[in-house]
Amino acid sequence: MKLGLLGPEGTFSEMAAKKWKPDAGLIFFDDMESAVRCVDEGICDESIVPVENSVEGAVGIVLDVLLEIKSPIIGEVILPVKQCLMSKGGISDIKVIVSHPQALGQCRRYIREHFPNAEVRTTGSTAHAGKLAQEFTEMAAIGCSESANRYGLKVLKEGIQDYQSNYTRFFVFGKKMHAPTGNDKTSLAVYLEKDMPGALYEFLGEFANRSINMTRIESRPSKKMLGEYWFFIDVEGHAEDLVLQEAISALKDKCTTLKVLGSYPKAETL
Ligand SMILES: O=C(O)C(=O)C[C@]1(C(=O)O)C=C[C@@H](O)C=C1
């Protein structure tokens, strides 16, 4: 079983992959987009990518590429994220701090308060930052402690994220829809072209009227014009459940495009 993810070794995505399938053969990609597309492209059987963080919010690139792929979401993994400051040198040597933008965003206040004069640079992943920091004593990386071990860095400080409760949710993509389990979620992408009063209200009413619990709503620009959006909606239930089937067919009349992104078992609650 080949499982695609963001690399190199030592990313939080790797921790999530091990939680999902400890024995899978991991295929590391340099960027998130390739990791999202790898199942569609026949390179991997499954892939796992971060989709939202409890502090920094959505991973925009994943939402955008989701609209273009055929592989359904077959699972979700929720990972507690503890950010570490790591370097070859000591705290007083640090002149440059590197990490993935999501990780830097999770530690914004810590960096400003403790390293107001440091140069902050982004990398493709937290592990990429760790790999880079191997080369320079004055560079510190932010990422997970596993990547410090992997790249021979010292963990100078653990748990530097601004909010101690920091979780990242990952989507798993696979080749075919997951069968209903009785404890599922369904993710939908909806494009409401008509900019008219109450359009979204009416739309969401189809869930409310059927007592379908919505667990998340997110918007992304349509990229066609300012003020037009795709909505990403997660609800409880499986797309094969009768009540959700009814809601989806009612919704199709109310929007321009509706894509069922997948139904999958809910992750364990934390
Ligand atoms: O760079 C990594 O380690 C990743 O797996 C990516 C990622 C993300 O983009 O959200 C995953 C979890 C953390 O929130 C920070 C970074």
Work out the average pLDDT over 12-35.
97
Residue 254's pLDDT band, with cuts at 50, 70 and 90, is confident
Residue 38 and residue 26: Cα distance in Å, rounded?
A: 12
Percentage of the chain exceeding pLDDT 90: 90
Residue 125: CB within 6 Å of ligand 1? yes
Hey, whose CA ends up nearest to atom 15 of ligand 1? 103
Tell me how far the alpha carbon of residue 231 lies from the centroid of ligand 1, in angstroms. 23
Q: How do strand 57-58 and strand 73-80 relate by DSSP bridges?
A: unpaired
179 domain residue, yes or no: no
Residue 154 and residue 207: Cα distance in Å, rounded?
A: 50
220 domain residue, yes or no: yes
Residue 11: CB within 6 Å of ligand 1? yes
Same domain, 141 and 204: no
Residue 84: CB within 6 Å of ligand 1? no
Tell me how far the alpha carbon of residue 224 lies from the centroid of ligand 1, in angstroms. 29
Same domain, 89 and 68: no
25 domain residue, yes or no: yes
pLDDT at 269: 66
43 domain residue, yes or no: yes
Residue 253 has pLDDT above 90, yes or no: no
Hey, whose CA ends up nearest to atom 14 of ligand 1? 168
Tell me how far the alpha carbon of residue 265 lies from the centroid of ligand 1, in angstroms. 22
Residue 88, domain extent:
84-158
Question: How many distinct structural domains can be found in the chain?
Answer: 3
270 domain residue, yes or no: no
Same domain, 151 and 224: no
Residue 6: CB within 6 Å of ligand 1? yes
**Each residue of 157-206: pLDDT tens digit?**
999 999 999 999 999 999 999 999 999 999 999 998 766 778 888 889 99
Q: Which token pair is 224?
A: 């066609």
Tell me how far the alpha carbon of residue 199 lies from the centroid of ligand 1, in angstroms. 35
CATH of the domain at 68: 3.40.190.10
Residue 7 and residue 13: Cα distance in Å, rounded?
A: 8
Average pLDDT, the chain: 95
**Each residue of 240-249: pLDDT tens digit?**
999 999 999 9
178 domain residue, yes or no: no
pTM check: above 0.80: yes
The last residue of one of the domains, among 146, 173, 200, is: 173
Same domain, 13 and 64: yes
